Structure 1
Amino acid sequence: MARRIKLLSMELSNQIAAGEVIERPSSIVKELFENAIDAGATQIMLELEHGGKEKILLRDNGFGIEKDDLILALTPHATSKIYSLEELEAIQSMGFRGEALASIGSIAKVKITSKVANAPHAWSINNQLGNELIPASHPIGTSIEVAQVFYNTPARRKFLKAERTEYAHIDDLIKKFMLCHFDIALTILHNGKEVKSFPVADTPQKQQARIAQICGEEFIENAIIVQEASMDLTLQGWIAKPQFSKSRADLQYFYVNGRIIKDKLIAHAIKQAYKDVLHHLRYPAFILFFNINPATVDVNVHPTKHELRFRESRLVHDFLFAKIHHALSHTRPTLYEEEIEEEQSLTYQAPSLKPMEKNELDNKRLYWQDDSNRPNYSNSQLAQSHNQDLRLYERLIGKAANQFSSTEELASNTTIKKDKWQSATQLSMPLDELDIDHEIATKEIQTVPQLQLEDKKYPLGFAVAQVHGIFILSQTEDGLIVVDMHAAHERVLYEKVKALWANNKVVSQQLLLPITFELSTILLDVLLQHEKMLSKLGFVYAPLGEKTLVVREIPVYLKSSHIEDLLLNIAKSLELSTQSKEIDDYINQILATMSCHKAVRANDNLTLQEMNHLLREMEQTARADQCNHGRPTWVKVSVADLDKLFMRGQ
């Protein structure tokens, strides 16, 4: 028999609502913490028992709750944060729905005690005592005690985990709040013992200490400060260099107008920004604050307010991608002095709910490095030390560098592999100096860039040897550098062909003898389908029968010896790619494949001049710290590390 429609009781309705808002004790802590932030609190004390399952007490020094409002605080859909539809459409507070305390009160025992500034004393209300107002003693601010979570819903309580697990969820939540609200001091007690304390971080040094306490010193050492503003969009915070990647996405903090957010659009934009420099099995680390006009974002799409919807989603995605991608472009070898200059030119402003003006961005500074831990070199000392390195380098390669009297003689006597290094030497030249006529297909390298031994410093030092045909060993003024020559050359070529493509400088060279090879019908169809796109890259080809392709022109920076393998790999890559992929992804994937094929490989013997040319190229190339696949291109071993290995001075 069909059941009749019946109006639910208020108690059951609140318990259903609680199921949407309250998942576990950490959900309660989140709601209480957000209320304290909205109340203007600067001091918060959080006391927990048994991971929050038995007791959660949060005390703040905010502006408190009026006596007549205390009863309404536990009433569903009663709030002080929005009064009209206009305020709902431009929310600037952390909470706004007004169902949090009522929902908590429906599944736990709740006691609220609060005092406002002008009141003679505090007032208290307890949902277990009929919501009767009782005079109480309390400083200005509010205390909310939640006891025995899910005591009246046993089915929900049995799904709670062990005490350690529930506390871990709360601890993770607290980290997110503390990384955003530097102006709040927090003390946490668990089972009667103080377990954590966060003082107010009102200076750059204190902010750095708080971040180190939560994320670790290694994050600080590898962090890049991001500070960008455009129109009504502002992005600030820290992103980690690609070499500081994680096996899990457990160090990713993103805030929109001060609100903790996990959003697919944002995650995709950040992932795309790291795409060229991060290994596909690793995750980036970041702490980012994104400010946007509240009227252009809807935070009322999910009960927990973790998700949101942007009115101009494409604009937001492109802004985040462009700014993070640009910041990562500076990940290249630099000297200590250059790092200090970059740090001093960067500032950080705590997140605000309103878009910030440019002059506001220049008010505060945050210096990542502690100068007391670094050698205090004067300019004269640095110059003298580096001149000694230059003299050593002159002794190492001076004879080789001056052995030949002409570039033709040098080209005929060096062991440069023409099919590997022609691209590197040509792409290092200005674009207007490139010889792009038909002779380029038959000419050898005309010049080999020689090192100018002037009084300047080189972050990657000078090459002294090639190890196992794979690595370049280089000496710097304070240690040793080991470079993966294939990975490094691959990045250098990739960035240059991307620049040529972006500036429409890609040109073709006609082959004296066209290349003909067979391939499967499927791959041939793929290449014919993408013929227009590949022609823009410099490839000109046509079918010759059902399974044969004839290639008549190739990009000017390639040699013909590997074209067959390259086009087969491109065809296979395009075949496996989804059709939803954007054209830029196709292009970058093809350019990366071309760079990988063109880069030097293991057991390619390089001269010292060639190795140093690659080091100089790396120093001038964006994102040179990683190859196109996210692998590191170089590592450094300092003299101090070597001293430790050999126990020198001990």
Structure 2
Amino acid sequence: MAQSVPNIGDPRPQIRQLDEAAINRIAAGEVVERPASAVKELVENAIDAGARRIDVAYGDGGKTLIRVTDDGCGIAPDDLPLALARHATSKMDGSDLLAIHTFGFRGEALASLGAVGRLTLASRAAGEDAAEMNVTGGAASAVKPAALNGGTVVTLRDLFHATPARLKFMRTDRAEAQAIGDVVKRLAMAEPFVGFTLRDVSGGGAGRTVFRADPESGDLFDAMSARLARIMGREFTDNAIRIDAARDGLGMTGFAGLPTYSRGSALAQYLFVNGRPVRDRMLTGALRAAYRDLLSRDRHPAAALFIECDTALVDVNVHPAKSEVRFRDPGAARGLIVSGLRHALAEEGHRASGTVADATLGAFRPDPGGARIYQMDRAGRPSMPRPAGFAEMQGSYAARVEDSSPEVDETPAEAAPQDLPLGAARAQLHENYIIAQTAAGMVIVDQHAAHERLVYERLKRQMAESGVAAQALLIPEIVDLPEDERATLIGAADDLARLGLGIEPFGGGAVAVRETPALLGPVDARALVLDIVDELRDAGDSDALATRIDAILSRVACHGSVRSGRRMQADEMNALLREMEATPHSGQCNHGRPTYVSLALSDIERLFGRR
């Protein structure tokens, strides 16, 4: 059966200039993906206008109504038509697309919103009368007077009414409302000195306040901490460390959670570049790499990190939604995050999350759900065995309490052991848990997990000092690669050599693997090289080999540490506590679990009803 060939025999297609309405609707499809996109553009405009309070109201998940009210500088009546025109902006003159110091810069948002919805822009600048304009489906009305004390109010009704096919791709009202909330909270994190209110006005009226954050005061870190506590929860800020690092012209501030305060997903990770919330694979990969040997694979760190740099070092003009950025030197940005976080985490030493203690106290509390049994209910029932007294229990306990030998006690004479952070060992329970007394309470230490981390850190120091031993392959492994991948791999050859992997060009697109890390033992060199190439191309740096070596060191440390079930003398227990205090990351084992639990005396007394 003959098949027709498209365009054969047809008249030559005619090239046409699209009308302005079609152009605006196409542009809107790039800028306004969903109601949350519209909220993002309007709130960013309000921040750029110098607003100190921003109120966001939405109805039906933003599908029927979005209204953003701010107290910013406002717009003069004569400028309203220009504000609603495409590619008209007050934020740059177009001479340098890298010198961008504001959220917005393309001048597309208001025109795009007016093309797909019913937009009303009302504003009043200082010394001017209030005025407003309406735009419906791209058609603008004349400027007319309005009643407004100051600032700007942008009202968007019936989003996508001009492109009804887009409505079919909208999610439920609840899902769209959650997306709006996420956008507002991210912008609120970036601007702690600005107040934000988010209200759901579905059904009319004043609506329900979904989120509120008043302007913060104090210095930057105090304001940032208070705002993060409002959004991410006080539990995060109580278990996070302050980050303040700089490298190669880049600066990083913010807060990062302790390894023992980890999450089951990456939802609690917020990254900002020059105040702009971004979702960047390279940056999130660097955050994951910084916690590489502190968390198990199924756990994720919590963090809010703010990277600041000269605008010439980063390009924000990458995506219409401005959610992606591109650094001139991606390696510098990645290195800043990895080194800054690792240094800050190491400085915390043995500190562990306070949520561990809260979970422990919760486990101690009796279950209130059991029915109370009264004495009269026991009549006629068989008598229960009498609980054993202390005399009968002698010899059956597992705790050991011994005095420390003076000749092996390394505690400074001026400091009593219980005044040190992890206190003085008082007992060992079940040949695995060390009970130590501190000045403010008690500490329970998992001896195997703690010693495993100590041995692991010792092995890492030794490896850093002497390098990774390499084993020569009897027959080099030849790996064929595309030319670009080969060039990427050869460019990292010196770094890989320090990790025990020796590679060299082998003609054409091949490389020869002549040495592999001795710690790995027999290894599939080809698979290892391909993994490293993929990571180099994806992130600009490779942690694949280092991760494998760390895994081997961790396994060695596990086998070389104090085993559960071993009885320890008091001097051994105290020596372990002192080494934990002096060793970075000793608050968690190699798998991210806590190595100790600290309980305050006040909490212990509360358990027994003494407070």
Measured against the shorter chain, the TM-score band is 0.7 to 0.9
* 1:165 to 2:175 alignment: yes
* 1:251 to 2:292 alignment: no
C-alpha deviations, 1:238-273, integer Å up to 9, x for none?
Answer: 111111111122221111101001111111111111
* 1:79 to 2:41 alignment: no
Could you tell me how far 1:5 is from its partner in structure 2? 3.6
* 1:116 to 2:125 alignment: yes
**Which residue of structure 2 lines up, in the alignment, with residue 40 of structure 1?**
50
CA distance in 1, matches of 2:145, 2:162: 28
Could you tell me how far 1:502 is from its partner in structure 2? 2.2
Counterpart amino acid of 1:464? R
Q: Is 1:48–1:189's contact at 8 Å kept on the other side of the alignment?
A: yes
* 1:221 to 2:241 alignment: no
Q: Is 2:248–2:332's contact at 8 Å kept on the other side of the alignment?
A: no
Note the 1:313-462 alignment, pairs <5 A.
313-333=330-350, 397-398=402-403, 401=405, 450-451=410-411, 454-456=414-416, 457-462=419-424
**Which residue of structure 2 lines up, in the alignment, with residue 297 of structure 1?**
314
Distance 1:137 1:282, change over 3 A: same
Could you tell me how far 1:175 is from its partner in structure 2? 1.0
C-alpha deviations, 1:266-314, integer Å up to 9, x for none?
Answer: 1111111111212221111111111011011111111111111100111
CA distance in 1, matches of 2:496, 2:300: 32
Instruction: Name the SS of the counterpart of 2:169 in structure 1.
Output: coil
C-alpha deviations, 1:370-389, integer Å up to 9, x for none?
Answer: xxxxxxxxxxxxxxxxxxxx
**Which residue of structure 1 lines up, in the alignment, with residue 294 of structure 2?**
277
Q: Is 1:460–1:481's contact at 8 Å kept on the other side of the alignment?
A: yes
Counterpart amino acid of 1:127? V
Q: Is 2:499–2:546's contact at 8 Å kept on the other side of the alignment?
A: no
**Which residue of structure 2 lines up, in the alignment, with residue 265 of structure 1?**
282
Instruction: Name the SS of the counterpart of 1:80 in structure 2.
Output: coil
The equivalent position to 1:201 in structure 2, one of 193, 216, 233, is 216
**Which residue of structure 1 lines up, in the alignment, with residue 444 of structure 2?**
482
Instruction: Name the SS of the counterpart of 2:190 in structure 1.
Output: coil
Q: Is 1:49–1:190's contact at 8 Å kept on the other side of the alignment?
A: yes
**Which residue of structure 1 lines up, in the alignment, with residue 392 of structure 2?**
none
**Which residue of structure 1 lines up, in the alignment, with residue 134 of structure 2?**
126
Could you tell me how far 1:40 is from its partner in structure 2? 0.9
Note the 1:18-29 alignment, pairs <5 A.
18-29=28-39
Could you tell me how far 1:125 is from its partner in structure 2? 0.7
Could you tell me how far 1:73 is from its partner in structure 2? 1.9
CA distance in 1, matches of 2:434, 2:495: 37
Distance 1:525 1:475, change over 3 A: farther
The equivalent position to 1:492 in structure 2, one of 426, 431, 454, is 454
Distance 1:460 1:507, change over 3 A: farther
Distance 1:571 1:491, change over 3 A: farther
CA distance in 2, matches of 1:161, 1:335: 40
Distance 1:227 1:579, change over 3 A: closer
**Structure 2 gap segments, 5+ residues each:** 1-5, 8-12, 355-399, 480-493, 501-516, 534-541
Q: Is 2:269–2:301's contact at 8 Å kept on the other side of the alignment?
A: yes
The equivalent position to 1:626 in structure 2, one of 588, 591, 596, is 588
Counterpart amino acid of 2:180? I
Instruction: Name the SS of the counterpart of 2:171 in structure 1.
Output: coil
CA distance in 2, matches of 1:234, 1:111: 40
CA distance in 2, matches of 1:264, 1:335: 28
**Which residue of structure 1 lines up, in the alignment, with residue 372 of structure 2?**
none
The equivalent position to 2:116 in structure 1, one of 107, 122, 127, is 107
**Which residue of structure 2 lines up, in the alignment, with residue 210 of structure 1?**
227
**Which residue of structure 2 lines up, in the alignment, with residue 92 of structure 1?**
101
* 1:14 to 2:24 alignment: yes
CA distance in 1, matches of 2:582, 2:414: 17
Could you tell me how far 1:452 is from its partner in structure 2? 5.0
Could you tell me how far 1:315 is from its partner in structure 2? 1.2
Note the 1:60-71 alignment, pairs <5 A.
60-71=70-81
**Which residue of structure 2 lines up, in the alignment, with residue 553 of structure 1?**
none
Counterpart amino acid of 1:79? T
The equivalent position to 2:465 in structure 1, one of 494, 498, 503, is 503
Could you tell me how far 1:334 is from its partner in structure 2? 6.0
The equivalent position to 2:562 in structure 1, one of 589, 592, 600, is 600
Could you tell me how far 1:331 is from its partner in structure 2? 3.0
CA distance in 1, matches of 2:126, 2:576: 68
**Which residue of structure 2 lines up, in the alignment, with residue 51 of structure 1?**
61
Q: Is 1:569–1:593's contact at 8 Å kept on the other side of the alignment?
A: no
CA distance in 1, matches of 2:463, 2:519: 21
Counterpart amino acid of 2:294? V
Distance 1:145 1:587, change over 3 A: same
Could you tell me how far 1:164 is from its partner in structure 2? 2.0
CA distance in 2, matches of 1:525, 1:467: 53
Instruction: Name the SS of the counterpart of 1:630 in structure 2.
Output: coil
Could you tell me how far 1:63 is from its partner in structure 2? 1.3
Counterpart amino acid of 1:295? A
Instruction: Name the SS of the counterpart of 1:15 in structure 2.
Output: helix
CA distance in 1, matches of 2:28, 2:445: 57
Counterpart amino acid of 2:181? D
Residue correspondences, number: 502
Counterpart amino acid of 2:182? D
Residue identity over aligned pairs, in percent, reads: 38
Q: Is 1:115–1:140's contact at 8 Å kept on the other side of the alignment?
A: yes
Q: Is 2:224–2:254's contact at 8 Å kept on the other side of the alignment?
A: no
CA distance in 2, matches of 1:506, 1:233: 31
Q: Is 1:108–1:150's contact at 8 Å kept on the other side of the alignment?
A: yes
Distance 1:505 1:262, change over 3 A: closer
Distance 1:588 1:449, change over 3 A: farther
**Structure 1 gap segments, 5+ residues each:** 340-394, 408-447, 509-522, 539-565
Q: Is 1:41–1:62's contact at 8 Å kept on the other side of the alignment?
A: yes
TM-score between the two structures when normalised by the length of structure 1: 0.71
Could you tell me how far 1:396 is from its partner in structure 2? 5.3
Could you tell me how far 1:149 is from its partner in structure 2? 0.7
CA RMSD of aligned residues (A): 3.3
Could you tell me how far 1:189 is from its partner in structure 2? 2.6
Counterpart amino acid of 2:563? R
TM-score between the two structures when normalised by the length of structure 2: 0.75
Q: Is 1:526–1:575's contact at 8 Å kept on the other side of the alignment?
A: no
Counterpart amino acid of 1:197? R
Instruction: Name the SS of the counterpart of 1:183 in structure 2.
Output: coil
Could you tell me how far 1:124 is from its partner in structure 2? 0.9
Counterpart amino acid of 1:221? D
C-alpha deviations, 1:174-210, integer Å up to 9, x for none?
Answer: 1111111112122233212240332110226665443
Counterpart amino acid of 2:306? F
